[in-house]
Amino acid sequence: VPPQDLNGVGRLGLIAGGGRLPTVIAESCRARGREPFVIRLPGAADPALAAFEGADVGLAELGTSLKALRRAGCRSVCLAGNVRRPDFSALKPDLAALKHLPRLIAAAGKGDDALLRAVLAMFEAEGFEVEGAGAAAPDLLLGPGPLGSLAPGPDAADDAAAAIAAARRLGLTDAGQAAVVRAGRLLAVEDAHGTDAMLARCDGGAGGRDGVLAKVPKPGQDRRVDLPTIGVATVEGAAAAGLAGIVGEAGQLLVVDKAAVRAAADRLGLFVVGVEA
Amino acid sequence: VPPQDLNGVGRLGLIAGGGRLPTVIAESCRARGREPFVIRLPGAADPALAAFEGADVGLAELGTSLKALRRAGCRSVCLAGNVRRPDFSALKPDLAALKHLPRLIAAAGKGDDALLRAVLAMFEAEGFEVEGAGAAAPDLLLGPGPLGSLAPGPDAADDAAAAIAAARRLGLTDAGQAAVVRAGRLLAVEDAHGTDAMLARCDGGAGGRDGVLAKVPKPGQDRRVDLPTIGVATVEGAAAAGLAGIVGEAGQLLVVDKAAVRAAADRLGLFVVGVEA
């Protein structure tokens, strides 16, 4: 048995967009003895991913990607990291990509979620299993209870419950995954501009820490992609907005990375807490 | 019959918060021979409202307001303009306000809509009819079809329909009333920070005019208050965001004021169009 097959699930092919998430997933896999093979999207993928076996392959060169993944012994893939919506008219698809392109373009017209589902279906049609980041790197998932040393008090617990409810309702609109509630009032919701932009438009509050950010998957969303994510920047943004803390659903929020987020939360005096989904 | 009673609905008491809307309503009433009596909220009301009979009365002096409205012969009231959520602990309520305060504070904890409904119920309990801005000044309502000289083309019509649908779904979350769709993609949704802030975070697009802003009442919202509003600033913000136009529901969107909005839309090359609700 090769080392990457130790846990019986086969080697992981990691399709890496931008941001820290792919790197943290790759490190998590390596630490558990499942050496990943990384397809690094040029101009997006974290340079730190050069520490892993892999290939630099563009979005449109699907045939090249599939060949590299198969040659490396990958049986499943995980898509992680930020990818800009491509300008389909500017892509130079190879033959394999060309085959799937009409379906992808049609899906793209129905929104980001539809496009992602179509990309997953494409890898499945090519014979790969698709793993979510949470399955590939379960140690990244927020657990139940507080992550750091602080826990919400009664007022914050009320705001946390209201923020979770608002974020779930928001998810039905396909607009975003996050909401901020302060003193019972829905202060901000996430849109395509993201969580950091949402936090940046929340003022610092009345002085003390007040209000809660919730981030949850969209109801019915394919949890193999696009699981909501927080990182140190989220904690810092929440602190600058004067919030008391961050709440997510246990097992449904990726924390990149946990040690740094815990340290930032403790340093800035915020709680980060997981509740039952 | 006094002049303010000419159309048989009784004199209008206009409770005026900030912004241009109360002034435009008062002017509309006067133009139709129904001279309003204006309660000007200090620090908020447009100075131009000094041109109308009225009184400067703070939020907490409800007894003074009610007395002035009755003495002026008002049988109905219209609440219009922006009012900051009061800090209830800092209010110095008079006796009449004190009577209603517990109910208002309880409602305030349930969100802005609940607070506004409680304020309406308070005026009704005091014997006044409550008129929406659209009833008090029907000439402010967006009509069906284009307001200016431009109409949406086929692509913009698709985005307009998608934006209307997204804004309606968003309304169910109590987060906001407006959404921007560009090329089929939900780009931005309004939250408590308002429409201008939402437009400010939409980039200018690909160059040509692309994308549509929709603004609709929340489903089930009390249309006697908080009917969505657009003005020249909305048109300018939409133009800066590279949008092709603005869509609202005919009879369900206030335009402040119509001549200026029409002129701005024509000058900046945007459509403003009303569709059947």
Q: Does the pLDDT value for residue A6 go beyond 50?
A: no
**Which distant-in-sequence residues (6+ apart) come within 8 Å of A167 by Cβ?**
A177, A178, A179, A189, A190, A214, A215, A216
pLDDT score, position B32: 92
Which of A177, A185, A213 best tests the B interface by mutation, with the highest count of B CBs <10 A? A185
Nearest by CB to A193, which of B111, B173, B201?
Answer: B201
**A112 contact B CB<8A:** yes
A134-140: average pLDDT = 93
For the whole model, what pTM was predicted? 0.80
Tell me what ipTM this predicted complex has: 0.71
Alpha-carbon span A93 to A95, nearest angstrom: 7
pLDDT score, position A206: 66
CB–CB of A174 and B191 under 8 A? no
* Residue-by-residue pLDDT tens, chain B, 277 positions: 344 444 556 899 999 999 899 999 999 999 999 999 999 998 889 999 999 999 999 878 888 999 999 999 999 999 998 887 777 777 788 888 888 888 888 887 777 777 888 888 999 999 999 999 999 999 999 999 999 999 999 989 999 999 999 999 999 888 899 999 998 889 999 998 999 999 999 987 666 789 999 999 988 777 777 689 999 999 999 999 999 999 999 999 999 989 999 999 999 999 999 998 8
Q: Residue B90: count other Cβ atoms within 10 Å of its Cβ.
A: 7
CB–CB of A176 and B189 under 8 A? yes
CB–CB of A192 and B192 under 8 A? no
CB–CB of A191 and B188 under 8 A? yes
**A172 contact B CB<8A:** yes
**B181 contact A CB<8A:** no
Alpha-carbon span A264 to B11, nearest angstrom: 60
Residue-wise pLDDT for A16-67, tens only, equals 999 899 999 999 999 999 999 999 998 889 999 999 999 999 878 888 999 9
- Tell how far CA B137 is from the center of its chain: 12
pLDDT score, position B277: 82
pLDDT score, position B8: 56
| Chain B residues within an 8 Å CB radius of A166 | 173-175
Rg (CA), chain B: 19
For residue A157, CA distances in Å to A24, A45, A275 come to: 30, 38, 10
Q: Does the pLDDT value for residue A247 go beyond 50?
A: yes
Instruction: Tell me the percentage of chain A whose pLDDT exceeds 70.
Output: 95
**B172 contact A CB<8A:** yes
CB A70 within 8 A of CB A104: no
